[in-house]
Amino acid sequence: MRAVLWFLGLFAVAAAVALFAGNNQGTITVFWPPWRVDLSLNLTLLLLGAMFVLLHGALRALSALFSLPVQARQWRTQQKERALHGALLDAMTQLIAGRFSRARKAAQAALAQEAALDHLGTHLPQAHQLRTLAHLMAAESAQSLQDRRARDEHLRAALETGAPRLPPASPETREGVQLRAARWALEDRDAPAALARLEELPQGAQRRTLALRLHLKAARQDGRTLEALETARLLAKHRAFPQAAAQSILRGLATELLSGAHDPAQLLNAWSQLDMAERAMPEVAIHGAQRVVALHGDLALARAWLLPVWERMVEQPQALGETLCVKLALALEAALDTVDGDWLARIEAAQRNNPRDAQLQYLAGMACLKRQLWGKAQQLLTQAGPAMHDAQLQRRIWRALAEMAEARGDQPQALAAWKRAAQADNP
């Protein structure tokens, strides 16, 4: 359709020219003493058109001739810019391929190309950002090659603000360099340096998932358990870990925080730093109770910490698992030296509701033993001994029975119980 319209337009122009030129009888006389030149109007118009075309072509040719140096300079700049980007891409490729020496050479080549462009007076809009990335890749390669001196030199160059005539690098680029520097410090086991790098970040950047992950690792390396726990809570809130992994990390840090207490006051302060979800974790509550006993703290406090776990075990016997149930039984037994009537009633009620549970029989028997109810304690422990599957609890049962038999002066029964305890020690 477009070609048809072009043909129609050409035919119309040809027809108009033929009508105008065919009947044009006008002449133009040019007096150039001593000559007189008579020209037809059509010829004059043709000559004027030809002169315009020639003059236009000559001007274009002169313009192209005088622009050759500029075009040559632009071509050289373009070639250097292409070489710069090619070297930068090659450095990235070699780096992710694990060829660190070649990656560093390619990054240094990119820096050399950028310096050559700067020497020519050509300033790329992203010059500072390109230079920062090249220094970063060179530093990353040096870190992998264990060349810390070169790494630090490239890191300082990457963090420089640059010349005033150059546009500054984006904030994201600088933050990325600082995050990489923090990771390198972690790899060197220099947790204080990593934390210092992270503190240099803006407030918003410090709450990013990557920064929080690095902060968690650095805090754990530096022994800042409470700080690591707070960071882990933020990561769990942002769903940076799977739920099971987040629970495991929080549980481990909470346990570590309690382990760092060296007296009952410190332990109580550490417990107050935990939130309700962490206190409700069976492993944390059991470990806290064990620490109370180990530090000779208030046993009533240990039993209070164990109460939620106890209620969970009584309501859902299979919820904790055998290992946790054994740990709960041992922790609760250690806290029964000053057992009150409420706890004794709780244990007896649970044992009556589930009379075949050997661990409940064990706890009820030990509670009676602490309250000097010898007959009932012996009855419950005798029933629990053969049914107990855990070797440690079984050994404690037979030792308690042996000690009670010795207290009664029943040596044959005491020897039999000690023998069963020894067998439990060496199954």
pLDDT tens for the chain, 427 residues long, are 788 788 788 777 777 666 666 666 677 777 778 887 777 777 777 788 889 999 999 898 888 888 888 888 878 878 888 888 888 899 999 989 999 999 999 999 988 888 877 766 666 767 788 888 899 999 999 999 988 899 989 989 888 755 445 555 678 888 888 999 999 999 889 899 999 998 988 888 888 888 999 999 999 998 898 999 999 999 988 888 888 888 889 999 999 999 888 888 999 999 999 988 888 888 999 899 889 888 888 888 888 888 888 888 888 767 777 788 888 888 887 777 776 677 778 888 888 887 777 788 888 888 887 777 777 777 877 777 777 777 787 888 888 888 787 777 778 787 877 877 777 655 4
Residue 108 lies in a domain: yes
* pTM confidence score: 0.74
Residue 26 lies in a domain: no
Residue 370 lies in a domain: yes
- Of the three residues 187, 203, 232, the one that is the final residue of a domain is 187
Closest CA to 311 of 319, 301, 322, 302: 319
Q: Where are the alpha helices (DSSP H) in 295-373?
A: 299-315, 322-334, 341-353, 358-370
Residue 171 lies in a domain: no
The answer to whether the beta carbons of residues 214 and 228 sit under 8 Å apart is no
What type of residue is 203?
Q
- Give the DSSP letter string of 275-311: -HHHHTSHHHHHHHHHHHHHTT--HHHHHHHHHHHHH
Q: How far apart are CA 425 and CA 391, in angstroms?
A: 7
Residue 418 lies in a domain: no
Closest CA to 216 of 200, 225, 228, 226: 228
- Of the three residues 386, 404, 420, the one that is the final residue of a domain is 386
Total count of domains within the chain: 2
Strand partners, 97: none
Residue 326 lies in a domain: yes
> Which domain, by its residues, includes 380?
286-386
User: ω before 34 within 30° of 0 (cis)?
Assistant: yes
